[in-house]
Amino acid sequence: MSVSKCVSRIEQSITLAITAKAKAMKAEGIDVIGMSAGEPDFDTPDNIKQAAIKAINDGITKYTPAAGLPALRKVVAEKFEKDNGLSYKPEEIIVSCGAKHSVFVAIMALVDEGDEVIIPTPYWVSYPEMVKVAGGKPVIVETTLENELKLTAEQLREAVTPRTKALIMNSPSNPSGMVYTKDELLALVEVLRELEIYTISDEIYEKILYDGAEHHSIAFLDPKVFSRTITINGVSKSYSMTGWRIGYAGGPLEVIKAMGKLQSQETSNPCSISQMATIEALTGPQDSVGKMVKAFDERRTCLVEGLNSMEGVSCVKPKGAFYAFPDFSAHYGKSVNSKVINGSVDLSNYLLEEMKVGVVPGAGFGTDAHLRISYATSMDAIKKALTRIEEGLKALS
Ligand SMILES: *Cc1c(COP(=O)(O)O)cnc(C)c1O
């Protein structure tokens, strides 16, 4: 007897492994600075909390339709229209248990055994594993620093085969913080409009932008691409609501229906109380988003400048999300205490064990030269972490 082939072919997330290790050290009383978190460190805004309390008091505590409350699907359709210029009918919207769940059901609804899904590096750790669960084949396309770690039209054209079913896009990007410009997306759209493939566009960091960067939904740029794109978003990152578990998607009716069918057999509905809170998040005052972004912006500058002042570290200033993604590869091959640092996993283990700083190895995102360092933490912690990382690097020879 053994567990399923499906589970056997996927890997345990190394990001979660290192985060668990950092937490265990903290529990032992060790002063670890955690820079591996994938969530804002702010509290959920009070108007949203109050809406949830009201939902409980009003008795909105029962099952809802599997695809979400009709009132919320309508609000999400209005959000897509207002923020992204995307016209979805409420029945072309689905609400899921987090954007991660939306991505998962989208993949399960589209990908058959042996289908190929194009995923550019650096990718969010879950995409390739989700494709594998569906029986599909992740086709990893390596981007270059020269192109700011973004997929080019030429690379996309080369990666497509008759088995290609979908492309996964994520802008602003976790982990690189890069944001595709309108022109860069238009170049990809030129290729996509000639192809019979779907695009899954994960836009969860859409509101976390810096230096005047603008977010563009790829589905907005071409009607043909719109008809084959599943646009995914959620409230976790913009409204500091990671624990509430609400994500959503808009897309072609037949795909959204298929996703709803899966959810009806899988999770039933997303939490009714969280759905009511999401209506408030999307329709209520938006000033908390700007305040959060302003705080992230100051930390971003401090962290990136600190990293770039270190020898053998190079960090492109991120334009979105809340991660720095510096290249540390100049230090690979060096050693400390007769142990060789052979890549990002060794380096992040060393930084955690010896310097007590928790960061995520780039290997988990398909780019071993880098480490992902979250700045969703206090300025004080960032400054301390910079000192420790620099000290750690100086000890390598
Ligand atoms: C955080 C994150 C998500 C998922 O967020 P949920 O909490 O599941 O809504 C999806 N995609 C990326 C790239 C993320 O970083």
For the chain (397 residues), the mean pLDDT of every run of 10, in chain order, is 88 80 92 91 96 98 97 98 98 98 98 98 96 97 95 98 98 98 98 97 98 98 98 97 98 98 96 98 97 97 98 96 98 95 96 96 96 96 98 96
Is the separation of the CB atoms in 130 and 82 below 8 Å? Answer: no
* DSSP type of residue 146: G
* CB 124 near ligand 1, within 6 Å: yes
Domain 46-283 CATH assignment equals 3.40.640.10: yes
pTM here is 0.97
Return d(Cα 296, Cα 377) in angstroms, integer: 9
Handedness of CA 138, 144, 145, 151 (dihedral sign): negative
Q: Which CATH class is domain 5-43+288-394?
A: alpha beta
CB count in 10 Å sphere of residue 65: 15
Distance 100 CA to ligand 1 centre (A): 5
Specify the pLDDT at position 227.
98
Alpha helices in 267-377 (DSSP H): 272-283, 287-308, 344-353
Specify the pLDDT at position 37.
82
Q: Tell me the one-letter amino acid at 139.
A: V
Domain boundaries defined on the chain: 5-43+288-394, 46-283
Specify the pLDDT at position 283.
98
Distance 148 CA to ligand 1 centre (A): 22
Judge if 5-43+288-394 and 46-283 fold alike in CATH terms.
no
Distance 126 CA to ligand 1 centre (A): 10
Q: Where are the beta strands (DSSP E) in the chain?
A: 33-34, 93-96, 116-120, 137-141, 164-170, 198-202, 229-234, 247-250, 323-324, 335-336, 339-340, 357-358, 360-361, 371-374
* CB 202 near ligand 1, within 6 Å: yes
- Pocket test residue of 168, 231, 237, 238 for ligand 1, highest count of atoms within 8 A of CB: 237
- Pocket test residue of 236, 248, 325 for ligand 1, highest count of atoms within 8 A of CB: 236
* CB 99 near ligand 1, within 6 Å: yes
